[in-house]
Structure 1
Amino acid sequence: MMIDPKKLAIKDFVYELPEERIAKFPLPERDQSKLLLYRQGQIVDHTFTDLPQLLPPNTLLVFNDTKVVQARLLFQKETGGFVEIFCLEPVAPYREVQLAMQQTGNCVWKCLVGNNKRWKSGKISLRFDGGMLQAEREAQQEGHFLIRFTWEPAELPFAEVLERCGKLPLPPYLNRDLTPEDHTRYQTIYANQQGAVAAPTAGLHFTDRVMASLQEQNIAAAYLTLHVGAGTFRPVKADVMEEHEMHAEQLYLTKPLLQRLLKQLGKPIIPVGTTSMRSLESLYWLGAKVLQQPALPMQELQVSQWQAYETKEPPAAAEALNALLQYMERQGTNYLHASTQIIIAPGYTFRICGGLITNFHQPESTLLLLVSALIGEDWRKVYQHALQNNYRFLSYGDSSLLLP
């Protein structure tokens, strides 16, 4: 019987997660976390350093090289009270994160505002080493504000301003203050492209030692960029998935990545993390879209929430990826920026990915739906085993290698 993902009830994806099983702090060494291997229904416990020996031969691992930005800004008002502004995504002059991060002088971002009632009107200021940042509300929209930032020295790029005066946005469920250690530990060792407000946490376990060991096993690596948005923590409030709106995230890919994926088809392609998996599957659906609409404008390169389930005759993976390559050639570019709202849930057919490296996710989350899409009802067996065997959960928790 075909599963209709729109009719899935989120209450069917619940398990009991005791507070003490949430990893509040990272382990002293990244690669010493536990690794649960799920292979064709069997579960075996390992340590993360075992990963290179456990991957199928000739695997290509695909990493998300996004870098978490210091997106929390704490402004003090003249009266002494604080207003917290959390930058979600850029609006003007650029919506594209990579460009918005290089913007100088001023910009507008979609933001969440804490203590908004205390901010009566006008501008608020935040002094930082060698300069000052000012914020002004331009508009209130559903659940957020548009905030115009201006700063001195005006020649500083916005990325540098955030670096100097922002704070790292830890996941809300950690429920604790930032420590100096978080600045290195809540980034992957290969983080490179600034723009995420949450880390691609499956990558937090990788160390130089593990990377060297992967090379020795002839396990290849490729990189893409998906800027993880705050929506990744958004709980599903709708009873059925049809009523839940997925957050859109910005995705960047290069021509060499597509060429590498084409060469790898037929051999294992394993994403590191749910963000890499959503990106890889989105590449396929972008290819399917440009196959149908060869003249699609670049600003319309987006994967909608239900596109994967509504496409009547999906093309072969090679055909879709080739279509995307040809599209890039027609556009005269080696690099594409797109957005994806893809929801991967039971009923989804994987087009590119043959497994997944991931942490243990919150109950009733879209990430749990994704795991279930990959390994079916066995997700319960995996999570039960993890709970009974002292695995640590969520962002700073332990890892799993899922090979259906």
Structure 2
Amino acid sequence: MLKTSDFDYILPSTLIATRPLEDRASARMMVLPRRNKEQIHATFADLPRFLRKGDRLVFNDTRVIPGRVFAHRSTGASVEILFTEPCDSHTWKALVRPGRKMRVGDEVLLGNAQITVQEILPDGLRVLRATQPIKELMDVHGEMPIPPYMERHADEKDKQTYQTVYAKNAGAVAAPTAGLHFTTELLQELTDAGVDSTYITLHVGVGTFRPVSEENPLDHPMHSEYFHISPEAVEEIEETRRAGGRIIAVGTTVVRALEAASQGGSLESGERSTNLMIMPGYTYQIVDGLITNFHLPRSTLLMLVSAFYSREALLSAYEEAIRHSYRFYSYGDGMLLI
């Protein structure tokens, strides 16, 4: 029985990327073929030479919302709010810090708007109602919700760099970071090489920031995320499979959506939420290849990638990446498993 501690590793803090590279495609890419497990060091600009004509990349076109705001109480005390999901135009679910001091009925001010706690949910999220439309408040006061491990506030540059170049459908509270390596030029180069593209949507939720604290990963309350796969996307993917092409997921969010939508035995279109947890022992239904970043220790994302490759070989690759000073996490380098 695998334990959460089996997915641990030690990362020097100097290898945590807190800023992106100027050229997205210049990020390093470790290529891990599943058969011989030999590690190849390349860059994302080299991606076309590792793919074949007829392969299909599947992208997550979610768009990150500027959902983090800093409100204040009447006493002047600051309150951090991360809006996560709308209930209606004036009411959203949110992660609030410090949460214990924000009880039902408490109020904070954001600009000229008043925000009131209406409900505390079992998972600790608050239901907040504002006197103005919350989307308008985010547009004026919001900043990009970059991960806490960057240990800085987001700035204007993050509004561009913490967003994929193909982001379309707003709703994520974190970027699908594997996609941050793609430029419009690289996408065109892949198209010219005969590599096809399909877009689906999964709105990355606040659970992506929550580590697995239980020693048995199966005891971890897996977060739920909304996704949508169109009938056209299903047909494109199935056409590629019939023709012998490979389905390559750009990011773990794409993996979750495709695999969740195929639990009935075939890939189904539609929109719904999934709390599917993938860890070693899981049999992949749709995905033949995976482009992904380096993930946090003891995380569900590290478990998901281990299920595609192997835990031992993946952690060995992480050790190799550390020896070669790869940059880790959201703004860092990545890998291609194929």
- Structures share a fold, TM > 0.5? yes
Residue equivalent to 2:235:
259
Deviation of 1:119 after TM superposition, in Å, equals 5.8
Query: How many angstroms does 1:255 deviate by?
Result: 1.2
Aligned to 2:109: 125
What is the CA-CA distance between 1:220 and the residue it aligns to? 0.6
Partner of 2:7: 13
Partner Cα distance (1:257, 1:242) in 2? 31
Residue 141 (str. 1) matches residue 104 (str. 2): no
Task: Return the alpha-carbon distance in structure 1 between the equivalents of residues 99 and 230 of structure 2.
Answer: 40
Residue of structure 2 equivalent to 1:351: 285
Alpha-carbon deviations, 1:331-378, whole Å to 9, x = none? xxxxx3200111111001111000100010111111111111111121
Distance change (3 Å), C-alpha of 1:115 and 1:239: closer
Distance between the aligned counterparts of 1:370 and 1:88, measured in 2? 23
- What's the secondary structure of 1:392's corresponding residue? coil
Residue identity (%): 40
- Report SS of the residue matched to 1:113: strand
- Equivalent residues in 2 for 1:333-352 (5 A)? 336-352=270-286
Spell out the pairing of 1:130-169 with structure 2 (5 A cutoff). Answer: 132-142=112-122, 143-151=124-132, 158-169=134-145
1:98 aligns with none
Matched residue, 1:391: 326
Report 1:362-381 matches (<5 A). 362-376=296-310, 377-381=312-316
Gaps of 5+ in 2: none
Residues 37-81 of structure 1 show CA distances to partners (whole Å, capped at 9, x for unaligned) of 111311111111000111133110000000110111211333322
SS at structure 2 position matched to 1:125 = strand
Conservation of the 8 A alpha-carbon contact between 1:81 and 1:118: no
CA contact (8 A) 2:248 2:290 kept: yes
The answer to whether the 8 Å contact 1:83/1:118 transfers is no
Cα RMSD after superposing both structures: 1.7
SS in 2 for 1:75: strand
- Which residue number corresponds to residue 291 of structure 1? none
- Please give the alpha-carbon distance, in whole angstroms, between the structure 1 residues aligned to 2:8 and 2:101: 38
Of 44, 52, 58, 1:56 maps to 52
Give the 3-state SS of the residue equivalent to 2:236 in structure 1. helix
What does residue 312 of structure 1 align with? Answer: none
Between the aligned partners of 1:117 and 1:354, the Cα distance in structure 2 is 44
Distance 2:230 2:65 in 1: 22
Structure 2: distance between partners of 1:177 and 1:73: 11
Give the match's secondary structure for 1:138.
strand
Q: How far apart in 2 are the matches of 1:242 and 1:48?
A: 34
Q: Does 1:86 align with 2:82?
A: yes
What is the deviation of 1:190? 0.5
Residues 1:34 and 2:15 are matched in the alignment: no
Query: Counterpart in 2 of 1:66?
Result: 62
Alignment of 1:166-205 (within 5 A): 166-205=142-181
Distance 1:273 1:113 in 2: 28
- Taking the aligned partners of 2:100 and 2:70, their CA distance within structure 1 comes to 15
Residue ranges of structure 1 left out of the alignment (5+ in a row): 1-6, 94-102, 289-314, 326-335
Change (3 A) 1:272 1:116: closer
Higher share of residues assigned helix: 1
1:209-240 deviation line (CA, Å, top 9, x unaligned): 11111011111110000000111121101111
Q: Residues 69 and 81 of structure 2 are in contact (CA less than 8 Å); yes or no, is this contact kept in structure 1?
A: yes
Match for 1:137: what amino acid?
Answer: V
* Runs of 4+ residues over 4 Å off in structure 1: 116-122
User: Which amino acid is 1:83 matched to?
Assistant: V
Q: Equivalent residue of 2:131, what SS?
A: strand
- Cα contact 2:73–2:107 (8 A) shared by 1: no
One-letter amino acid matched to 1:68 = V
Report how far residue 134 of structure 1 moved: 2.5
Give the C-alpha shift of residue 117 in structure 1: 6.2
TM-score relative to the length of structure 1: 0.78
Structure-2 residue corresponding to 1:243 = 219
Q: Tell me the amino acid that sits aligned with residue 216 of structure 1.
A: D
Encode CA deviations 1:145-197: one digit per residue, 9 max, x unaligned.
2111231xxxx6x4343222212111011111222211110000011111000
- Which of 99, 105, 113 is 2:96 aligned to? 113
Task: State how many pairs are aligned.
Answer: 331
**Superposed CA offset, 1:76-115 (max 9, x none):** 333322222211223x34xxxxxxxxx3xx22x2222223
Deviations, residues 114-161 of structure 1 (Å, cap 9, x unaligned) = 23566685533322xxxx43211112233222111231xxxx6x4343
